[in-house]
Amino acid sequence: MPRQYSICKYTGPEGGTLKINTFYVFLGEIPNMPGHCIVFDYHNPKHQIFAGYHINFVEVNEEEL
């Protein structure tokens, strides 16, 4: 699981609202929904927030940024 407030990327599955290998800021796991999280897309001008998604994210390293 990525660290809170870290930049991460979505790893799947494809076909939903989130895009594979797009960078998001990981806000954390939802306490009463284990295995689900809240992230936001900081590249989007509207800074869309996505909540209730399975934790299919990995933290990116500095080279990927």
Q: What pLDDT was estimated at residue 3? A: 96
Residue 45 has what pLDDT?
A: 76
CA distance 61 to 42: 17
> What integer pLDDT is reported at residue 50 of this predicted model?
94
Indicate the pairing of strand 36-40 with strand 23-29: antiparallel
Encode pLDDT of 11-45 as tens digits.
988 878 898 888 999 999 999 999 999 999 988 87
pLDDT of 48 higher than 80 = yes
Using alpha carbons only, what angle is made at residue 57 by residues 53 and 60, rounded to the nearest 5 degrees? Answer: 150
